[in-house]
Structure 1
Amino acid sequence: MDASPDGGTDSLADAAYGLIRNRVLDGDLEVGAPVSVLALATDLKMSRSPVRYAVERLLSERLLRRVSGTITVAAPDRYELLDSLAVRTQLEALAARLAAPRVDEQTLAELTGIHDRFRQAVQDRDQDAARRADADFHSAIQELAGNECLAESLERVRTQVILAAYSTAWITSRGPALLEHERVLRALQDQDGQSAEIAMIRHLNNLTTRITSEWRAQDTAEEATGRRRAAPRASGAR
């Protein structure tokens, strides 16, 4: 894309990218929903060029997918989610370790404020607010780590986890996640990089365990439903 002398074209493309990406990650554009460049451009009151650029960028990041000529919000399968979680765990652990010595009064206040929002959302059973606060907590630690290469790698893998979370009962993870965030925050407050790294690994390993446990429960329920539906047919065949 050719940029205008004042960088306006690039700025519009970046703005479109941010707006569309946030709509996906906030759940406003649901998993599996079709994505139209024309409709988005009209809604965002932009020309199609920056929106098309943003959509292509989101396709390259696997936040959107093109199937049979149609662009939709990506729906990561279970194997993709587990792969993303494994990578995310190691990257976020590194981010926590790098962030710990960089914590000062201002950054600690910001992290504490985000954590307080998360706690309030959990108490209010506000799933959307809790999800946003959870994402903000992890993003703040990522930014505090001060490593651009790590941030870029982590940003891409986190989007896959966030997308997949919409297809799980994430609400069941909020209580345990609140306690796990508190342990991470405490280690960061102490500027203890090793403890922050361990706390983050435990948090994300526990998240993986909760998700896989839910999958097993879903599969068991579906199998039981299938057996109940098949029983009358089998009985009638005699």
Structure 2
Amino acid sequence: MSIDGVRGCLLLSRDGMILGAHPEGDAESHVRFAWVRFAAVGDPERSYIEFPDQIWAFVRRGGYSAFAVADTGVRPGVLVDLLEQALMMGEQGRADDRETMRLPEMPSAPSGKPRTSFHKQERAPAPVPAPVHVPTPVEVTASQEPEARPTPPAEGVSDPTMSEPANASAGTEPAPRADPGMETPKRPVSREDEPEVDRILLAKEFAGLLQVPREDDEASR
């Protein structure tokens, strides 16, 4: 005890059994006698009794109790608080010891052999590949093909196949006039159909025109 004037104290269980005493010897027997007399009074939680020559104090906390005998110079309230603090420290120490001595929990072993499953596990269905979109080829029919347009004949180019019938029909009688609605357009006369010109004769004529008489030439000198 940390206070002067305390003659002795006892640590008791819930049912009043003495678990420990301080100090031991003749002082312990005197404190036990006082405890027996105090227990006959009743079963209090916190209490004290004052006598002319001594003070008895009692405190109960949880499953343990404390009883002390002190001199008259000690205040009863201080003695009761001192016993309660001692019980609180004892509870804290026991709690720490339990945590230290507690064994780690071991996983429980299997009770028997593993059972064989008669039902097959359902497997997830395989992913179905997405269909690939292939464009449909477009068939071009004869009706859809563009119509071939006739190419008009070039200007100034003669068609030998057309000139021969023209020459052949020159000596014959003119053909009857066709219907205006059915008449074909006249094609232009090509250069081959024009009469040929003698270039030599033309050159001589131009040369004669360009020649200057000698008399005029001498006069100019």
Check whether TM > 0.5. Answer: no
Max radius of gyration: which structure?
2
Q: TM-score, normalised by structure 1?
A: 0.23
Q: Which structure is higher in helix share?
A: 1
TM-score, normalised relative to structure 2 = 0.24
More strand by share: 2
